[in-house]
Chain A
């Protein structure tokens, strides 16, 4: 049963900054890019990197995520030995069990699971990033440096550095200081929230951290600073591909648009495939009266209207005379005759009835008032109804403020 390296994927967060999109599902299960869900990215990265054992730590609204992952077959993670495992919090003798108190506590509570595979190394991943990355190369760097912990980092523009966890490094990429969202950043290397630990070192640190009543049991706040303070060897692993945290509505919309422009995030390029659980829809139909431009369409789509600069997931329908611009239509969305959708994210199975208007261009109103319009899953917008830019509606049609 011994494995050299396994992955633990933190998928239990509520994703509260995605508001109505995560009112019924965990963030990693949110649809992305036409046919994916966010969790497809780390799971596919694992498979492509040769990691065949993944623990997925779930806690918040896990039902859809659990059924999506299923046996792990779409990611080739249905294995005789290893494979994907869903790890919810569970009852134990004595302390009776608790919810995961923080990211570190989630791993602490599953030390038994990790020990079953007796790995040398553990990769810690989170379920809210869109990127293609070879973890094996990062592991090679970790082994070559003889590090206790390796943190994947990305160069970000200096003026944005204060939004991230920043790693200050020496000439050999040894991490010398960690600053969480610093006002005066000492470096522009931002942590991507991807860690490789030598398991025995992490195991000890988790046990020590759990014993500290003042700890918030979090990797960023506790485990990483404690490793630094203890003088453990920590290195930064520089990643230069596409990476985006899609934890906010704006970044989720941005990442969808990035995928459209096929620059750094080209999903049609197949050397590093991203796998997904697929639907059995027939091919997309693009009709005689339709106009589709700089957009992606997916199986099961029926388009007879106009679609520009947009991402259409499987089963999305855009009827005659309807227009969709700069928007993300999640699976099963219908935009009926003459309705207009601009700069919006429409959750699964939304219905926009004839002649309704959802969202608007940035030029259409005061810049202060403008923003992405968001409809929660299963929302219905009545015929002729107008939903202003920056509005967010839940599935009961109630306005939700950000």
Chain B
């Protein structure tokens, strides 16, 4: 497996459904699970499968993602040859002149065509950055080789999703017959997890074809238009997978991690999720502190009561404060006697003394980064 597969991650898609969470960052760098960013999951899956070269396509407000990924050393991707490459793709704009942001995956790939030519591996795996998954990609690669397919598309039989997602209709042999979106009647369909394996050669050909025909979308120009001529094989993954595309989904998928069976799937032994390191001491729980059914990262100080919640690194909950069903991101400080229910507090939020903040389970209150409330 080593040295046969190249990773490309798309980190550009705008998801207005994530509201305040994406005010100052792209979905890829939205904090998740107590100490991670969304992109860590697919990136770690790639690294754990022995992938040594990964390109991350950037668009939009990527400063936070750059800061997170750095040189790639925390994923062991800071290498002399290969390793992590950041790809700020732009498209040529013939009408107004100069460059503009690209409109779809194929246009983004065309924007980094010289990078694609330089790929050392024979095969490429394309993936989105907003997927919570811990998948052994080497198995997907083996299945791709074994089936002789042109493209292998990872999908799940769980079709439950409110967001704009892609569905496949597979035949008995698992081959993708139809690619559909949006779709009301999803009976017998599979939901795409937006992970695709194909050869570098085919990828370059598809990029060139799309550009010649002024087509930009991988979904319509490749999956739909080329289905008759290309062998697109489904790879059904029924392990844990969550596409984070709305605040509600973010909230529910986050709190789901309190379930030990889900934690075992997301954090299995031997396939660690790597993230940017931060030096924090261990978390301290005071004699006055109560902590029950919580995921707690390092560097927290708990003097109040915390239940059914996720605490990122460096969070403090002062005496008398009550935090229930909440997600508190890095360095959030909850002052004395504050009461929080169903709240998502972004980084560096300060909740002042005796303040009460109430969201509801199906509409959690989301507080923007750095707010003082």
> Which A positions have Cβ atoms within 8 angstroms of B?
33-35, 73-74, 260, 262, 267-268, 273-276, 278, 280-288, 290, 292-299, 311-313
**Assuming A285-B295, A299-B35, is B282 touching A280 (CB within 8 A)?**
no
**Assuming A35-B282, A275-B279, A299-B35, is B301 touching A283 (CB within 8 A)?**
no
Contacts of B304 in A (CB 8 A): none
Closest CB-CB distance, B295 to chain A, in whole Å?
4
Contacts of B283 in A (CB 8 A): 284, 296-298
**Assuming A288-B292, A295-B285, is B279 touching A282 (CB within 8 A)?**
no
28 A-B residue pairs with Cβ-Cβ distance under 8 Å, sorted by A, are A33-B281, A34-B282, A35-B282, A267-B281, A268-B284, A268-B301, A273-B279, A274-B281, A282-B33, A282-B34, A282-B267, A283-B297, A283-B311, A284-B296, A285-B260, A286-B285, A286-B291, A286-B293, A288-B293, A290-B292, A292-B289, A294-B286, A296-B283, A296-B285, A298-B283, A299-B35, A312-B282, A313-B282
- Asked if residues A293 and B287 are in contact (CB atoms below 8 Å), the reply is yes
Q: Pick from B21-29, B165-173, B270-278 the stretch touching chain A.
A: B270-278
- Asked if residues A283 and B296 are in contact (CB atoms below 8 Å), the reply is yes
Closest CB-CB distance, A25 to chain B, in whole Å?
21
The distance in angstroms between the C-alpha atoms of A268 and B292, with both chains bound, is 22
Closest CB-CB distance, A66 to chain B, in whole Å?
19
Contacts of A273 in B (CB 8 A): 279
The distance in angstroms between the C-alpha atoms of A283 and B311, with both chains bound, is 9
A-B residue pairs, 5 tightest by C-beta: A34-B282, A283-B34, A267-B281, A280-B272, A296-B282
- Asked if residues A274 and B279 are in contact (CB atoms below 8 Å), the reply is yes
- Asked if residues A283 and B310 are in contact (CB atoms below 8 Å), the reply is yes
The distance in angstroms between the C-alpha atoms of A297 and B285, with both chains bound, is 8
**CB-contacts of B334-357 with A (<8 A):** none
- Asked if residues B287 and A278 are in contact (CB atoms below 8 Å), the reply is no
From B275, B291, B299, residue with most partner A Cβ within 10 Å: B291
**Assuming A278-B277, A281-B272, A294-B287, is B282 touching A286 (CB within 8 A)?**
no
Chain B at the A interface: SS class: loop
The distance in angstroms between the C-alpha atoms of A51 and B132, with both chains bound, is 42
Contacts of A298 in B (CB 8 A): 282-283, 298
The distance in angstroms between the C-alpha atoms of A9 and B298, with both chains bound, is 29
Q: Which of B73, B281, B293, B294 contacts A35 (CB 8 A)?
A: B281
Closest CB-CB distance, B296 to chain A, in whole Å?
5
Additional 11 contacts, C-beta under 8 A, given A274-B281, A283-B311, A285-B296: A268-B281, A275-B279, A281-B267, A283-B35, A283-B298, A285-B294, A286-B293, A288-B293, A292-B291, A296-B281, A313-B282
- Asked if residues A311 and B282 are in contact (CB atoms below 8 Å), the reply is yes
How many B residues are at the interface, by size bracket?
35 or more
> Which B positions have Cβ atoms within 8 angstroms of A?
33-35, 73, 258, 260, 263, 266-267, 272-275, 277, 279-287, 289, 291-299, 301, 310-311
Q: Which of B260, B285, B297, B310 contacts A299 (CB 8 A)?
A: B297
- Asked if residues B293 and A283 are in contact (CB atoms below 8 Å), the reply is no
Contacts of A267 in B (CB 8 A): 281-282
**Assuming A273-B279, A281-B272, is B267 touching A268 (CB within 8 A)?**
no
- Asked if residues A276 and B272 are in contact (CB atoms below 8 Å), the reply is no
Closest CB-CB distance, A168 to chain B, in whole Å?
38
- Asked if residues A283 and B291 are in contact (CB atoms below 8 Å), the reply is no
Contacts of B258 in A (CB 8 A): 285
The distance in angstroms between the C-alpha atoms of A208 and B162, with both chains bound, is 80
Contacts of B277 in A (CB 8 A): 74, 278
Closest CB-CB distance, A308 to chain B, in whole Å?
8
- Asked if residues B282 and A297 are in contact (CB atoms below 8 Å), the reply is yes
Q: Which of A73, A262, A282, A286 contacts B294 (CB 8 A)?
A: A286
Closest CB-CB distance, A294 to chain B, in whole Å?
5
Contacts of B34 in A (CB 8 A): 282-283
Contacts of A260 in B (CB 8 A): 284
From A33, A74, A281, residue with most partner B Cβ within 10 Å: A281
Q: Which of B266, B274, B287 contacts A280 (CB 8 A)?
A: B274
From A276, A282, A293, residue with most partner B Cβ within 10 Å: A282
Closest CB-CB distance, B173 to chain A, in whole Å?
38
Closest CB-CB distance, B31 to chain A, in whole Å?
12
**Assuming A284-B295, A285-B294, is B281 touching A34 (CB within 8 A)?**
yes
Contacts of B310 in A (CB 8 A): 283
Contacts of B275 in A (CB 8 A): 280
Contacts of B279 in A (CB 8 A): 273-276, 278
- Asked if residues A282 and B273 are in contact (CB atoms below 8 Å), the reply is yes
Contacts of B298 in A (CB 8 A): 35, 283-284, 298-299
- Asked if residues B296 and A280 are in contact (CB atoms below 8 Å), the reply is no
The distance in angstroms between the C-alpha atoms of A292 and B275, with both chains bound, is 27
Contacts of B281 in A (CB 8 A): 33-35, 267-268, 274, 296
**Assuming A282-B263, A297-B282, is B272 touching A73 (CB within 8 A)?**
no
Contacts of A295 in B (CB 8 A): 284-285
Contacts of A73 in B (CB 8 A): 73
- Asked if residues B285 and A292 are in contact (CB atoms below 8 Å), the reply is yes
Closest CB-CB distance, B357 to chain A, in whole Å?
22
Closest CB-CB distance, B42 to chain A, in whole Å?
16
Query: B302: nearest residue on chain A (CB-CB)?
Result: A292
- Asked if residues A262 and B282 are in contact (CB atoms below 8 Å), the reply is no
Closest CB-CB distance, A230 to chain B, in whole Å?
43
Contacts of B291 in A (CB 8 A): 286, 290, 292
Closest CB-CB distance, B356 to chain A, in whole Å?
24
The distance in angstroms between the C-alpha atoms of A311 and B284, with both chains bound, is 9
